[in-house]
Amino acid sequence: MKREHYLGAAVLIVVASGILLLVRRHPIQPARPAETVRLQAIGPRLVSNQTSQPLALYGSGFRAGMQVVLDDPASALPATVLDDGHAYVRLPPRALPPADVQRVIPVQIRLPDGTLSSPPLMLTVVNDAAFVDFTAAVTARTIPRTFALSPNTDQLFVIDADAAPKALSTGDGPSALDTWQDDGGAEHLVVAHLYEPALRLYDVAHPEAGPRSLKAPAYASGLVVGDGGIAYLAEVVGDTVSAIDLRTGEVKWRAPVDPNPRALALCGTEWLAVGSLQAGTIDVLDRASGRLLRRIAPGPDTSIVGGGTDQYERYIMGGTAPRALAWSEALQRLFVSSIGPDIGPNPDRMEVSMNGGVGVVDVTQGTFLRHLGFGMGVTGALALDDHRGLLYAADPALGIVRVLDAKALTRSDEAAAGALRESVELPVPDDFPLVRPAADFGVHQRATRALHAGPAALGLTPDGSSLTVIDRFTGDAVLFATPLQHGQAGRVQHLSDTTIQKTRRLGQILYYADLGHSAMSCDACHLEGHTGGVLFAKTHPLRIYRSPTLRAVRESPPYFTPASTFSLAETAKIVGGRNRYHNPDPSPAEIEALALFTSELTLLPNPYVGADGAPVETLTLPDGTVGHPRLGLNVFEQSCSGCHPAPHFTRDQEPATRGQYLDVGTPPLLALREPMQEAALKTFGIPPLVGSWDVWPMLGTGSAGFAVREDGTLEVNTRFPLREVVEKYSGPKHGNAAALTPEERNDLIAYLLSL
């Protein structure tokens, strides 16, 4: 028979950790008639209503023609049935009352004869569509106008100095934007999207007239447009950057870059800088061809100026996420904001190396010269006034904008130490709810109530005369005349009510805040709720750990290795207090809000499944090979499901099987200065595999993704860690993929990508 008519592999293996059963290929059997239908699990259990979401259904008695019934029987959705126990559906966006943080919806299966599964299972739908969240902004070149994006609510905000702001509907999940002035002098706003495979182009002067669209990759994470009308677009499915001609829609080139690219900057007329959030590197590409010219990250020769980590320069093991990039044509230097160089194992056992600030990169030489650390806060958005030599740096953890002398930053370590000129607090309305009583701020070396502002984006006019700050938490645009001065008041324009889901908003503020001036926040390690590379962390065992994603984290307690917290509330209490050095300890209200916000972080909808939400027949893998997800399903269930059961594919998803830390033969340490790490504990928790298409690096140590250079720094050795986990780290105690044929391994990997 033809290969596509079979499933499975062949052999029975008994190992110390249990019995691993691999069965020989056998023909697919049609679903057997059943008197009843059972719905045993839904995955994922937590979804956003911001866009359509694929759902997997697990049970028995499934049949062709069955439907998925939600809370309203009239809203039944057709299901794609693979076999007796696997079916799939795509849930369309679902409107909820704006004040509702979430809605728990009963789900049942209805067979063609009307038989309903019972009892119903519960699906949690998070109300992101009503949670305004400003993340990006740009100021026009030809008129005094700033544009800001709210991806959750699919809105584009138009901000003028002398008129009320306007909110326009745009595409699905607007995520990045820039402007372009064509050869005729007309200026266009270019908007990229997470879920719409298009660039939308608006007339800057008349955006309400609507856009024209060009085809472009979805899951866009970054965008910058050159004067020649070439848009450079980063996306996080294939981890690539594309060069798209905005006049014709032609894709000039598409190039792979390090994992999870976001921050982009044009460096002169020849180069494009691309920051990797997960690897902490900066790729420099040739703008004409997309060819990689050099890869830059901090190393032992990088200077750290101030902030408390300066004495550990020789132990730098790499970079942390470049949160923003800004190029100075006058100084021929690239500025990068981050939480600072990643300090690895060291004899003083100094752990968790947050030191938010601004770094300086020599793109020509490919060297990371220095990092100016502030010792507090988490530096984010940057805006450069190249004419005046002023660099503006937003800090959402403290609610301030710093003004830096750009020339001093580039001159020397000694000059950089005095580069900070001003620090300006953002206004917070008197009636805005606070995370703690007002008297608790600005005392005992704590942040002020300005941390409730959350400056997320900056827009600077071309002549540098005006700076617009977009405050994520208060929903305000603050317009400043420049240069900024301490105590300066800006003109406030209120864009949107951000307190409709009040407790969740307060939790978001706490997630990003650095109340105790420790330079640590939840977002410092878990950028935007996702993964953040690796860190040398935890008092015991002190070693290098992968920083895991927090998307759908509520489904997989306990947390940390070994288990130290057993709920999100306990995590918020213990980690929240530790992050601020107990200055002060979180209140019960803070714990509730932070736990709520974290529990609502959802997975991105999987891009590797079909329009019906089901695994496709054939899938081209990221490395160019081909796999068959539906064949890989059976391989997975016979080889892997004992430790990774549906629907989130971890034993931690159920109370009865949580906290089973196993030794499956994967590396106990990332092989960097191992004598300075603690290796006594060789067991790890069972990570959830749902959403693993977007996780890099993998394994508890980050060994599937990172390699160690001779100089003691890290480098990316694979952009496709799933392949490495299956083929290098799946020995007899971990699935024994060596017993599979190369085709079966490809099928297995293809199925893992579909989870």
Q: What is the pLDDT of residues 243-275, one digit of tens each?
A: 999 999 999 999 999 999 999 999 999 999 999
Distances (CA, A) of 491 to 369, 478, 479: 37, 5, 5
pTM of the model: 0.94
The mean pLDDT of 57-84, rounded to a whole number, is 94
Q: Given pLDDT bands bounded at 50, 70 and 90, which one contains residue 524?
A: very high
Q: For the range 741-748, what are the long-range contacts, defined as Cβ-Cβ under 8 Å and sequence gap of 24 or more?
A: 741/9, 743/3, 744/9, 744/631, 744/632, 744/635, 746/621, 746/625, 746/626, 746/627, 746/628, 746/632, 747/627, 747/628, 747/629, 747/631, 747/632, 747/635, 748/627, 748/632, 748/635, 748/636, 748/639, 748/640
**pLDDT, greater one: 19 or 359:** 359
- The whole-angstrom separation of Cα 359 and Cα 752 is 37
Q: Could you report the per-residue pLDDT of 534-569, keeping only the tens digit for each?
A: 999 988 899 999 999 999 999 999 999 889 999 999
pLDDT of 475: 98
pLDDT of 597: 98
The mean pLDDT of 475-480, rounded to a whole number, is 98
pLDDT of 71: 87
pLDDT over threshold 60, residue 289:
yes
pLDDT over threshold 60, residue 689:
yes
Q: In the chain, pLDDT over 70 holds for what percent of residues? A: 95
The correct CATH number of 31-129 out of 2.60.40.10, 2.40.70.10, 2.40.10.220, 3.40.50.1980 is 2.60.40.10
Burial of residue 738 (number of CB atoms within 10 Å: 0-12, 13-18, 19+)? exposed
Owner of token pair 């209120």: 494
pLDDT of 4: 34
Q: Given pLDDT bands bounded at 50, 70 and 90, which one contains residue 73?
A: confident
pLDDT of 33: 42
pLDDT over threshold 50, residue 371:
yes
Q: Could you report the per-residue pLDDT of 5-58, keeping only the tens digit for each?
A: 323 333 333 333 332 333 333 333 344 444 589 999 999 999 999 999 999 999
Q: DSSP assignment of 683-712, as one string?
A: -B-----TTGGG--SBSTTSTBTEEE-TTS
User: Domain-by-domain residue ranges, the chain?
Assistant: 31-129
Is 712 in contact with 344 (CB distance < 8 Å)?
yes
Q: Could you report the per-residue pLDDT of 373-395, keeping only the tens digit for each?
A: 999 999 999 999 999 999 999 99
The mean pLDDT of 67-87, rounded to a whole number, is 93
- The whole-angstrom separation of Cα 259 and Cα 651 is 28
- The whole-angstrom separation of Cα 571 and Cα 560 is 10
Mean pLDDT of the chain: 94
